[in-house]
Amino acid sequence: MTVDTTAQPVLVTQDLEAAWRAFHQALMGSNRILLSTHENPDGDGLGSELALCENLKALGKDCRILNCTAAPVLYNFLDPNGWLELYDRDRDQAWLAGCDLAVVFDLGDFRRLRTVGQDLVRHQVVLASIDHHPQLGYESTGGKSPYAHLILDYSAPSTGTLLWQYFKTHRPEPVTLTMALALYTALVTDTGSFKYDNTDERAHLMAIDMLKAGVKPYFVHKRVYEQRTHKQVRLLGVLIDHIEYSEDQHIGWCVLTLDRIMQAGATVEDVDGFSEFIRSIKDVEASALLTEVEPGKTKVSLRSKGTFAISDVAKKLGGGGHAYASGALVNRPWEEVVGLLLPLLQAKVDLIHADSGAEADGS
């Protein structure tokens, strides 16, 4: 994946092997271990948690997965033992406070741990992070990295890929089928089924390993991608009817207002995977999906075809993410966000096309 140098602070783990060794020692020396990932968890965060959880439970560790928001039900097939738990402060804080170590996955922004992160800091639990995102949100920890262990590799196609590498070195036995399913799902969801810019040789080598462990690709595909509900399809229809384009056609965007979402008989939770759809349109170089999650609050999802990074745009809106896939949650009405966002994106498009003068064709 392209490193987005506009995101600050840019930290890279200098010696990954040494970092892994230290992390492994910390894991082995810990008994009670909490695993967590970002709010609104995705296949990568959940798959990573579940794979490491199985490994640690097999080693007899007192290990729990506590997330600040619930996992989408479609990922239930990765969790036959019901290990994914929603963090409940009243019930779980005492357990959290007694942890020897917490491992957080796929986070990017520390604030995206919400209550889990706040309580981990409050109780001074030793933190380890495994991630492939530019690091943000250290404001909430006084500008300093909150991590005793940071395994950060921007070039990794998924956080699950980093765990796959960890297991290859530090787990004597091959991964089990349930671990492989979790890791393969992490890989598939983060690479858009091996389509996105972050898909590299490592992604395919990992896939080979997961298939050797027994994963059937179409089984995963069905469970993850062939689950669209009728209301989601109706919502996609509403979205298609309301896509707008910049004059030069290079920016495609859509606003899903609460009215439009209701018109489809859907809810905000049904908005999923639509930003990639807008990006897939011919000549669109950057796409934006704005969702009115509640009146005065707008979720922005940005995608780029790769001619320019858009994570700095997300950052200007208070968010972050990858160079070509990022987003923000903005406490402003969608009309205002459109007004802020479109000039920022247009400036990026203009910068690229200023060099070539007339439109380059076929790019």
| Residues at the interface with Mn ion (CB under 5 A) | 44, 106, 159, 190
Of 27, 35, 51, nearest to 206 by C-alpha is 51
User: What residue has token string 């609460």?
Assistant: 258
**CB-side exposure of 257: number of CA atoms within 13 Å?**
10
2 vs 263, which CB is nearer to Mn ion? 2
Least distance (Å) between residue 43 CB and Mn ion: 8
What is the DSSP code (8-state) at residue 295?
T
Query: Element (H or E) spanning 116, and its range?
Result: helix 114-122
> Using CB atoms, what's the residue nearest to Mn ion?
44
Least distance (Å) between residue 197 CB and Mn ion: 13
192 vs 306, which CB is nearer to Mn ion? 192
**CA 344 to chain centroid:** 23
12/250 Cα distance (integer angstroms):
33
Least distance (Å) between residue 361 CB and Mn ion: 34
Least distance (Å) between residue 49 CB and Mn ion: 12
Least distance (Å) between residue 294 CB and Mn ion: 26
106 vs 209, which CB is nearer to Mn ion? 106
Query: Element (H or E) spanning 132, and its range?
Result: none
44 vs 49, which CB is nearer to Mn ion? 44
What is the β-pairing status of strands 127-131 and 101-105? Answer: parallel
Least distance (Å) between residue 106 CB and Mn ion: 4
202 vs 348, which CB is nearer to Mn ion? 202
User: What residue has token string 């200098």?
Assistant: 14
93/120 Cα distance (integer angstroms):
9
CB 156, CB 132: distance < 8 Å: yes
131 vs 292, which CB is nearer to Mn ion? 131
Q: Any residues with CB less than 8 A from the CB of 19 and at least 6 apart, and which?
A: 13, 149, 150, 151
Least distance (Å) between residue 98 CB and Mn ion: 29
152/103 Cα distance (integer angstroms):
13
1 vs 180, which CB is nearer to Mn ion? 1
